[in-house]
Structure 1
Amino acid sequence: MQTIGIVGAGAAAAAAAFTIERTVPKADVTVLEKSGGLCGRAATRRGDGLIYDYGANYVKSDDERVVELLTETLETDGIADISEPIYTFDRSGAVSPGRDADGHKWSYETGLTQIAKRLFERAEATVHRRTPVETIRRDGESWTLVDAEGGSWGPFDVLCLNPPAPQTAALLDDAEWDDERGDALREAAAAVPYRTIWTAVLRYPFRLDRPYYGLVNPKKDHAVGWISREECKTGHAPEGESVLVVQAGGEWSSEHYDRDPAENVAELAELAADIVGDERLGEPTWSDHQGWRYALPEAGVARDPVLAAEAADLYCLGDWVAGEGRVHAALSNGLDVGERVAHSI
């Protein structure tokens, strides 16, 4: 039996595990995830009658394999179509129609984390949550992982790394692997630039009347980068209520990341009220927040070091490997890596 270890339970890891299981049914896949959730930045929270995707907001139809995966291969029950369009706004906050290239958009009635849950379940992978990995060790022809409590996992014939590039670089920096391929991969991962995003989730006791689902600032010249309406997703908000996900731009997020969250929420609520054009939005009845230090890769990783490491049965996967900070790109990359792993074993 071939053993595969995966660090991180993001969308790419789930797609890779699913592909490996379909191709090599006897492979044994173990996933170690540092948090209590699945699907990485495609994250969902629930409570007080709300369901909201507070990181990635939806999956778009930019990859035929991903579309087939979500609408044909996996169970289609609970998929929430988002029919409303995405509009844009400029540095002054002026809103304009038009994001024709955005294509079809999906979430799930119970949130985007359903993607990873369904994929891991179909893969019959063993997922250990709240198990942060601190050390990667190369033992002869196999890999071993050591968690924060000193627990040892493995040996694994193949190791896949799914954390964001900076965290992957940190793991490789501390790895017990004396090989120039590891050094080259660490340098390549460390060079991937990332955008920080600070997110506020705002609840209101009224339903907004707007023709759009989301607003995006394409030129990245406003303090806010994105606003979306969770009530446009079936099952996410009670009837007659609105829930906004307001994501600050990269510069604002970096400057305010460690500020009092209540101050950040209040400022983002006022900015959202100005952009959407409804002063009531400045006073939400409830709020939540989340900071994403490594939210979106601004570029992809150099390809040669990634492929060189695969010769040692070490695979990197995720949106930073795909070169696009989107859920569909992470899923597509996971499918690709899963196929290469299956072929190698």
Structure 2
Amino acid sequence: MTSKLAVVGAGGAGAAAAYALRDTAVDVTVFEKSRGVCGRAATRRKGDCTYEYGANYLKDDDERVATLVTEALPTDGLVDVAEPIYAFERDGDIGEGKDSDERKWTYEAGITQLAKRLFAASDATVHNGVRVETLSREGDRWRIHDDGNTDRGRFDAVLLTPPAPQTADLLGEAAWDHDDCRDLRQAIASVPYRTVVSGMLHYPFELDVPWYAAVNTDKAHDIGWLAREECKPGHVPDGESLLLVQMNEGWSVANYDAHPDRLVTEIAERTAHLVGDDRLTQPDWTDHQHWRYAQPEDTVDRDALAPAADHDLYFAGDWVAAQPRLHAAVRNGLETGERIVDDS
């Protein structure tokens, strides 16, 4: 029976699992390596600006998640991104996209509010700044140590939610001599990931374009995604622009270790060329982020994960979900939390 559960990772899936376990007999402890929550659905603030630099919003693509966000959780500060998403290919001509009218949610205070509200509604204890290093199987329980070799306790079950490569590494370091460990690690390590370098470019003027974002559909342009944070209510003061520019895989890998000044200069130049506005070569402030494991390009064979439950080991995240999107990760976290209860 699961009375103590350790969740590794406080992203959307981990937060949703903790929420699903609220008001149950399961005592949930969450270990998160960063100072915040919501993982790659991340928010930063600079001056009067609030911006997402990973996952940009939550799509209205899952009825259960939509109901969770609009009815079960507090809705203060929940906002729609009304402007459409356009598309472009290698030639850089930006035009209407096929999903230009999809519904997109975020919060005035940033997308990390999603995980914060899920955790606030749960009974989970969240420990930030704790990087889990090893898992040890001791009889029918798991012991967790962090990267400082501090014993974080024994648990009846463990839920792993980091990106697949990091989850595979955890299993590789696990003190668990069992054939299922090797097979699980191989299945998880096979999930391919996209590397992304992101640049944030601020301007003291607002762009006059009809779209919130533009996506490169053929993956043949250096820019993969260009979004205007000023389209999100409460994020950017009137009369200003803040662009999130996520570079495609090839460019990101080739320039991953480049000096930040060169990175943002080249990102700004490519953005100006794409939009056709030379003013964009001169942002008045910038920011950047490197995502080694930005987004899975596929999902894991879920049948390959099934034997893990026999050892009180579970997995959740966008790489486990039906599709690699934030709403799917949240749905997967809810379902995994419920499965843990059912297995107890």
What's the TM-score bracket when you normalise by the shorter of the two chains? over 0.9
Q: Indicate conservation of the 8 Å contact 1:82/1:107, yes or no.
A: yes
Listed one character per residue, the Cα deviations across residues 38-79 of structure 1 (whole Å, up to 9, x for unaligned) are: 111000001211100000000101111110111111001111
Alignment of 1:1-345 (within 5 A): 2-22=3-23, 24=24, 26-100=25-99, 103-345=102-344
Q: Indicate conservation of the 8 Å contact 1:6/1:32, yes or no.
A: yes
Q: Which runs of no fewer than 5 residues in structure 2 stay unpaired? A: none
Q: Indicate conservation of the 8 Å contact 1:297/1:323, yes or no.
A: no
CA RMSD across the alignment: 1.1
SS at the partner of 2:116? helix
Aligned mates of 1:262, 1:210 — CA distance in 2:
27
Cα deviation for residue 101 of structure 1 reads 6.6
SS at the partner of 2:7? strand
Q: Indicate conservation of the 8 Å contact 1:143/1:159, yes or no.
A: yes
- The one-letter code matched in structure 1 to 2:18 is A
- The one-letter code matched in structure 2 to 1:109 is E
Cα deviation for residue 158 of structure 1 reads 1.2
Listed one character per residue, the Cα deviations across residues 5-43 of structure 1 (whole Å, up to 9, x for unaligned) are: 011111000001100114x1x321100111111111000
- The one-letter code matched in structure 2 to 1:16 is A
Cα deviation for residue 291 of structure 1 reads 0.4
- The one-letter code matched in structure 1 to 2:138 is D
Aligned mates of 2:340, 2:214 — CA distance in 1:
39
Aligned mates of 1:59, 1:336 — CA distance in 2:
18
- The one-letter code matched in structure 2 to 1:152 is D
TM-score by length of 1: 0.97
Aligned length in residues? 343
Q: Indicate conservation of the 8 Å contact 1:85/1:99, yes or no.
A: no
Q: Indicate conservation of the 8 Å contact 1:33/1:128, yes or no.
A: yes
Moved more, 146-155 or 236-245: 146-155
Aligned mates of 2:102, 2:62 — CA distance in 1:
11
Q: Which runs of no fewer than 5 residues in structure 1 stay unpaired? A: none
Listed one character per residue, the Cα deviations across residues 285-321 of structure 1 (whole Å, up to 9, x for unaligned) are: 0000000000110111122221110121100110001
Aligned mates of 2:78, 2:227 — CA distance in 1:
18
Cα deviation for residue 231 of structure 1 reads 0.4
- The one-letter code matched in structure 2 to 1:4 is L
SS at the partner of 1:244? strand
Aligned mates of 1:5, 1:301 — CA distance in 2:
22
Aligned mates of 2:313, 2:262 — CA distance in 1:
43
Aligned mates of 2:47, 2:291 — CA distance in 1:
23
Aligned mates of 2:125, 2:212 — CA distance in 1:
36
Aligned mates of 1:100, 1:89 — CA distance in 2:
13
Aligned mates of 2:195, 2:319 — CA distance in 1:
14
Listed one character per residue, the Cα deviations across residues 168-213 of structure 1 (whole Å, up to 9, x for unaligned) are: 0000001011111111110011111000000000100001111110
Cα deviation for residue 278 of structure 1 reads 1.3
Q: Indicate conservation of the 8 Å contact 2:86/2:100, yes or no.
A: no
